[in-house]
Amino acid sequence: MSVPSQSAGLENLQALLDSPDAAVRLVALREVADACTPELLPVIDRALGDAEAEVRLEAVTALDAIGGAEAVAPLIRALGDADDEVRELAAKALAENQSPEGAPALLDALACSTDVWTIAALLEALKPLRSANALQPALHWLEHADAAVRAAAVGVIGYLRLLRAVPELSQLAAGDASAAVRLAALRALVSAPPEAVAQAALKALGDAEWTIRAEAAAILGRLRHPAAADALTGLADFDAQWQVREQAVEALGVLQHKPAVSAIGRCLEASVSNLRKAAVIALGKIGDRSVRLLLATVRNDPDAQVRKLAGQLLERLEQEAAGG
């Protein structure tokens, strides 16, 4: 079966979609998806009301294939489908649509939505569009009781990169009850003034959630924030999570913080090779004379990559010392 053209094709498809056989209706929708043409939107829209979830799912697949602003309204309707798989695919298709012309429809739907899942999905779809009109609704949803809604609203604000939202994001990064929201807010601050980002990241180094501590350490390293050196040294030495220690060690290497050499050196004895490798790299960046002695102890490391990296850095440092 192939999709006929224009009006005759539409009539034929509509007839097929009237078939009592769900398999026939499904094949017709698959042909529509393959055709990938906006002229078939009325047929797809009709299929969204089919009794069979599999047919409705194929209709959403067709909408995803067509894309553009014309697909936004029917995808929004599909968010209310009774079938979870249909709803999830519609949300995914909306988030990937990225048609700026679809923003008004998303904002209109958001204004009248009460379902938590739908609100979060609409906010996720708005995020990459960077519509200035989405700021006020996003700020409003920051106060929602559901963490998924707050996290999605933070994402919208983060994509807009507006300085006026920095206080709200900083407050969420420091004190929201949800770790997911705190992490999203911390990441959304990346375009804020460096000092504001650094202050939020310094606070986040003490967060109960290790992923947030690791993210904060990475941010402070990227910012080359010297005031964070002592706190990062403490994390490198004592944090219970090796990923946090790894990020702290990497940041200390970027900062070339010589007082942290002993703490970084103790990471060479860690059981996780990634942490030992990060310690070797950081010591190489610091380049102090005492570093050469520490690197020499890694020649017998059980990980070949760690041994190779330590050897290369040690050779470089020795050449630099001889040349100096």
Residue-wise pLDDT for 217-239, tens only, equals 999 999 999 999 999 999 999 99
Q: Please provide the CATH number assigned to the domain covering 1-97.
A: 1.25.10.10
pLDDT, average across residues 79-86:
96
Q: Identify whether the C-beta of residue 135 lies closer than 8 Å to the C-beta of residue 165.
A: yes
Selected from 3.40.190.10, 1.20.140.10, 1.10.10.10, 1.25.10.10, the CATH number assigned to the domain covering 193-324 reads 1.25.10.10
pLDDT at residue 6 tops 70: no
How would residue 10 be classed by pLDDT, with cut points 50, 70 and 90?
low
Residue-wise pLDDT for 166-203, tens only, equals 999 999 999 999 999 999 999 999 889 999 999 999 99
DSSP 208-231: SSHHHHHHHHHHHHHHT-GGGHHH
Residue-wise pLDDT for 251-281, tens only, equals 999 999 999 999 999 999 999 999 999 999 9
Could you give the maximum distance between any two Cα atoms of the chain, in Å? 86
Q: Do domains 1-97 and 108-191 have the same CATH topology?
A: yes
How is the chain split into domains, by residue range? 1-97, 108-191, 193-324
Distance CA 70, CA 40 (A): 11
- Architecture of domain 108-191 in this structure: Alpha Horseshoe (1.25)
pLDDT at residue 2 tops 60: no
Q: H or E element: which one contains 157?
A: helix 147-160
Tokens representing residue 3 in the block: 């999709």
Percent of the chain exceeding pLDDT 70 equals 95
How buried is residue 77: exposed, middle or buried, by Cβ count under 10 Å (0-12/13-18/19+)?
Answer: middle
